Amino acid sequence: MSAENLAEKLPAKADAGETTDLLLLPDGRILVHGLTESFARLLGELAPDDEQFSSRIIHPEKSPQ
């Protein structure tokens, strides 16, 4: 199947559910693009010491009005 045909069978991102792109580096760093709340919570559990995720986990009781 050509890449073009495959692309036609895949849902467009605008059609898909939430999408986050990750790049895992050999040194353990995790780079993220388009981080969603659910993925931030997941990454926060996997890397609890990484402030870039913990600071982005929205706690409902702390949500701004």
Partner 1 sequence: MLCVEAIAETSRLKTRAEIARERAEIAHAMLADCRFCAHDCRVNRLAGEQGLCHAGAEARFFSAQTEVSDELELIPTFAVALSGCDLRCAFCITGESSWNARAGQTFNASAIAAKACDALRQGARTIMLFGGEPTIHLPAALEFVAAMPPDARLIWKTNAHGSSQARALLVGMFDVWLADFKFGNDACASRLAKISHYGDVVKENLLWAHEHSELIVRHLLMPGHIDCCWRPIAQWTAENLPRVKVNLRAGFWPAWHAAGHAELRGTNSRADIDRAIKIGHEFGLNFIN
* Residue ranges in contact with partner 1 by CB under 8 A: 12-15, 18-19, 21, 23, 25, 29, 31-37, 40, 55-58, 60, 63-64
The C-alpha angle 56, 58, 63, rounded to 5 degrees, equals 130
Shortest reach from residue 36's CB to partner 1, in Å: 6
Closest CA to 25 of 54, 55, 50: 50
User: Residue 30 forms beta bridges with which residues?
Assistant: 24
Shortest reach from residue 8's CB to partner 1, in Å: 13
Nearer to partner 1, 35 or 47 (CB): 35
